[in-house]
Structure 1
Amino acid sequence: MRWLARGGVGVALVAALALGRWIDDAWPGRELDVGSFERAAVVGDRVTLRYADLRLESVTATKTLATGSGAVVTNGTWLVIDVTLWAKREWFTGGYWRVVDARGRIFETDPRSDFNILQATPKVPWHVRAAFELPAGDLAGATLRISPAEDDRRDDVAVVDLGIDDDRAAELDGLTDIVPVQQSSSFSQPPLPGEDGYDDLWKDQS
């Protein structure tokens, strides 16, 4: 009986291993369930995300940024991107912004560029100017990616094609006009409780 019991355990173990292998074969990509939800767009599109809507307005470049602390010069290229952002149910306090080049390299916002969203008021349009320092000659095929945090698993990520082909990349690399940057700001102030428009602003927030 003891031999039979051990034999039964062995059969059950083999069956479990076989089931595991069958699941691996049937759903080989199940580990991708922890991936992000990419929302593709191009310049001018309004992208709807869980935490905000945004629209990339324009792309330019420079060798010199004019910041609140003075001029910031690069031997490469500052890629300067203007975005309008509408936070949704929560105050939006920054997120993780980065440019990914055609080779997959990641270039994050640079603290020297005064990039700071502060706290974007829900449903009020905010102007954001983000600058990224890239090597000269590596702009073609770049995309902008925005997520609420660096760990963007199981969350929305905006992936915006910057529309930079080889000709546009050469043009951007050649721009030398100084570009001013500053902290983000709202285009208007939201109405306060009791003021006209307050109920309309928050009526769909419950």
Structure 2
Amino acid sequence: MQDLFKLIFLFCILSVQSFRIMNIKKVLQRIKSLPDAHETLQLAFSYLDGMGVNRNLSKSFETFKLISDENDVAQNYMGYFYEKGIHVDQNHSLAFYWYNMSANQNNKLAKNNVGRCYEDGIGVSQNLTEAFKWYDQSDILYPTGEYTGKRAGILDIIIISIIYKIFYGSFILDIIIISIIYKIFYG
């Protein structure tokens, strides 16, 4: 009788172990079937730009959204979609939320976007001090700190120099340095 109990006990242990192994295999298969975040990001860009696939902003948004919880680049693009109202209702508060989330993960472009939001009052109260702080953290080498694709004019440089003077110090030296940088980059 004791041997029968041992056999039943052994059978139960083996059944549980077998079940665990099956579950582990299922979990591993599920992990392998999930797309890599980098691949998903590339797919989102493909839909956004129409590279290799038909341009589809809806699919681009949904693909960015898939990995937006863990990927700072996707978070920055979620901000872009909400700011511009692409595939979603325009929502500046959500745009700022996503830009800020990405910036807090040290995404330099997102830091620039947060600075621009503070500068222009997009989704947040206008605050030039905060804007300048975020532009300074972004480390992107443009005369105004902004990475928007537009070139800075001399007036932009003077305004930034004045803001810098108010908060950080020397005015004349800054205009000279920024003017030299402007000449180097923009002729």
TM class by shorter-chain length? 0.3 to 0.5
TM-score, normalising length: structure 1: 0.31
Query: Larger helix proportion, structure 1 or 2?
Result: 2
Query: Larger strand proportion, structure 1 or 2?
Result: 1
Q: Which has the larger radius of gyration?
A: 2
Structure with the larger RCO, 1 or 2 (CA within 8 Å, 6+ apart) = 1
